[in-house]
Structure 1
């Protein structure tokens, strides 16, 4: 099992290039199933979730060619199956997008119940509600989801709660449906917009992505034969912004979209750090302890749940007592027990946690409990006195490309040990 050895007490300085968004890429790859042509995708993050998505496509009969580390060409014209391998789809949450894509193209799909990080209950009832509203019959049994439809007909679908996954999945299923589909109370995240932009580039007619009402006018065919660049990853950008705050560093985060990070920028300023915003980069620097602040995670444009653990490291070291309230998932505070092993004083109370700021953290053996917790613990290890050993890296590799190399380039003393 791989582990990271981190020798702490470092102030991070330098430049970081942000990769393409994991949450967009894992939806764009299944979306290529809807295209009757060849898709070229650039700025794709080279991470394990992307590689598994590509393997699933190949199992379905698609041809996937890696042109470079961050560019792929996908030809799905001759797929031969509508059953995605159950062992692969159960490994990550975004495999659910294969249901919407296969249903939209072939009117049938069989996909294993999606896996991913253990963040509590992650139901797919809103996905199923959307598919059924379009005319599909959906069955969940024996660890898999089966969906079939003679015809998909556009309709109005109101999401009972804001769901990124359900919004994207209904978009995928309705692109080739008959008539107009309207998604009300739609998710507005940047990767929802990116999926719509990708589909429109390939010939779809989707309007309103980025607002809470999305209209999809069904088309007969997506021609493809275009190149699309994945949107920069605002969660990776936010991770390094918070690393600068926690380590009292000075980082220039390049290849990002600053307006996607407005809520984080506001909180970093509240914590007393400095920020300089340019067209496609953000500089964050500070030389003092963070101020205390309170956070509540919410759907975009609110504070993202995927940055909750990373800002938690800053608050563990802040001057005073802070509170984080988790508004999305049930079990997102598992990382606090790991931080407490390093000397933090955090009290987990279900969907909220109280952070009493301490003077410093100390190196310890810790485990990545999920993807974003893993990134947070790397930051904690860089700040801490002494040596930290971080295990269960499989979570981190799902969503961050070359994370230890990026940290090393900005001054971290971090090494991956393969056992």
Structure 2
């Protein structure tokens, strides 16, 4: 099993290209099920989750081809992938596939909208929380679907097709908003989604669906209106930059010090996180085609953070920011409001010398003068990269095990950091 070894102490200087967003690419790929024409997606990142979803879509009959496989293709740029679901051969998403990636449950929306039936395995538990599918089911029922739970599967049917309706989410859910957008695009009449998620990835999906012929307004606000159409066509769409990768490398630059330009991204995608990072002592400026991050000479300042749905501070940057706060000149508190079990990285950071105490969903972080390298274990995607960030400044060597978590969401991480002066290497086997 691969692991990553970091020798701490080097500042980061240089340019890091930001990949296409995993959290945008996955729902966009699933949207290919809505049309029998070809959907072409540009800037698709090279990630384990993308490859897994390609296999899952293939189970339903989706064909794909990749542009840019040849050696001359720039590895820093995302792939262009063409998806064609002309013939859906199976409306069942089996447990052995869905259990490997929760986002694959989202196929229920387009399958129900286009084929009027779907049988999708419940995704099961998750390392960072239960993440129930009740919101998905309630939303689809509001569109006229009949849904039962049978032997661990969600069995859904919409005889005659889905019908538009007004539905209010009791709590904000990015995944459920994605599913409702896709399902309502082919429903009869108008659908209004209230208390919808506002994340940039929601806007990206809506933009793609509109390019396919959908009629969606209000994406990026808490109320989205969808006028259903009878069919969607193919389209060409570019996946937006990954704001979580952007924030992660910005935090890494603030942690290690130096001068880093994050290329191919936009500050508007993560305003709250960058403002928080500025309070911690980083100097952040927008430059042509990117963001420049420089740590000022006053050290890392403690900042209190509470995670919130967009446009608040992202839960997907909580672990990384906690790593930064372990070296702050004071005490900070980090409150997690999105997932009930997203502090599993605390014990691993403690192995490096961090001083963190937990009280429910609040972590109290007391900055220390020095972290010391040690073997650590990745528990989930974001936790794993927080350990890499801590390792950048830890004295000696830090070895991060179970890095298959990293490969789910960070493309060529060790190459990008090494290019800026970090001593980071992947060890296979």
Equivalence map 1:180-199=2 (5 Å): 180-199=190-209
Matched length? 418
* 1:68 Cα offset (Å): 2.4
Question: How far apart are residue 417 of structure 1 and its match?
Answer: 1.2
- Match among 101, 114, 124 for residue 110 of structure 2: 101
Task: Give CA deviations for 1:356-395 in whole Å, capped at 9, x if unaligned.
Answer: 0000111011011110111111111111110111111121
Give the 3-state SS of the residue equivalent to 1:383 in structure 2. Answer: coil
Greater mean alpha carbon deviation, residues 63-72 or residues 162-171: 63-72
2:221 to 208, 211, 234: 211
Q: Give distance in 2, aligned partners of 1:316 and 1:114.
A: 34
1:91 and 2:104 aligned: no
Match of 1:239 in 2: 248
Instruction: Give the equivalent residue in structure 2 for 1:6.
Output: 6
Partner SS state of residue 398, structure 1: helix
The Cα of 1:144 is off from its aligned counterpart by: 2.3
Contact persistence 1:59–1:85 (CA under 8 A)? no
State how 1:240-279 maps to structure 2 within 5 Å.
240-278=249-287
The Cα shift of 1:58 comes to 1.1
Residue 279 of structure 1: CA displacement?
5.0
* TM-score in terms of structure 2 length: 0.95
> How much has 1:236 moved relative to structure 2?
0.3
Would the aligned equivalents of 2:36 and 2:87 in 1 still touch at CA under 8 Å? no
Q: CA RMSD, aligned part only?
A: 1.2
Equivalent of 1:136 in 145, 149, 164: 145
Deviations 1:124-152 (CA, angstroms, capped at 9, x unpaired): 11111000000111222333222111121
In structure 2, distance between residues paired with 1:141 and 1:92: 20
CA apart distance, 1:288: 4.1
1:122-133 counterparts in 2 under 5 A? 122-133=131-142
1:373 is aligned, of 379, 383, 388, to: 383
Deviation at 1:156, TM superposition (A): 0.1
* 1:17-166 matches, cutoff 5 A: 17-68=17-68, 70-114=79-123, 117-150=126-159, 151-166=161-176
In 1: Cα distance, 2:125 partner to 2:223 partner: 28
| Residue from 319, 325, 328 that aligns with 2:338 | 328
Q: Could you tell me how far 1:115 is from its partner in structure 2?
A: 5.4
Superposition deviation, residue 87 in structure 1: 0.9
1-structure distance, mates of 2:149, 2:305: 36
CA shift for structure 1 position 331:
0.7
Q: Distance in 2 between matches of 1:274 and 1:116?
A: 40
Calculate the TM-score normalised by the size of structure 1: 0.98
Q: Counterpart of 1:43 in 2: which secondary structure?
A: strand
CA–CA distance in structure 2, aligned partners of residues 75 and 116 of structure 1: 31
Structure 2 SS opposite 1:147? strand
Contiguous gaps of at least 5 residues in structure 2: 70-78
Q: CA deviation at 1:117?
A: 4.8
Quick check: 1:374–1:396 contact (8 Å CA) kept in 2?
yes
**C-alpha contact (below 8 Å) 1:248/1:288 kept by paired residues:** no
**Structure 1 regions of 5+ residues with no counterpart?**
none
Question: Displacement, 1:312?
Answer: 0.5
Q: Could you tell me how far apart the structure 1 residues matched to 2:272 and 2:3 are?
A: 33
- Classify the secondary structure of the residue corresponding to 2:257: coil
The 8 Å contact of residues 17 and 264 in structure 2, kept in 1 or not, is answered as: yes
Query: Structure 1 segments of 4 or more deviating over 4 A?
Result: none
Residues 51 and 401 of structure 1: is their aligned pair in 2 closer, same or farther, counting only changes over 3 Å?
same
Q: Give the drift of 1:84.
A: 1.8
Q: Would you say the 8 A contact 2:95–2:123 is kept in 1? A: no
Match of 2:351 in 1: 341
Aligned-residue offset at 1:297: 0.2
Structure 1 residue aligned with 2:72? none
SS of 2:343's partner is coil
> Could you tell me how far apart the structure 1 residues matched to 2:59 and 2:44 are?
20
Q: Which residue of 2 aligns with 1:359?
A: 369
Alpha-carbon distance between aligned partners in 2 of 1:336 and 1:285, rounded to the nearest angstrom? 27
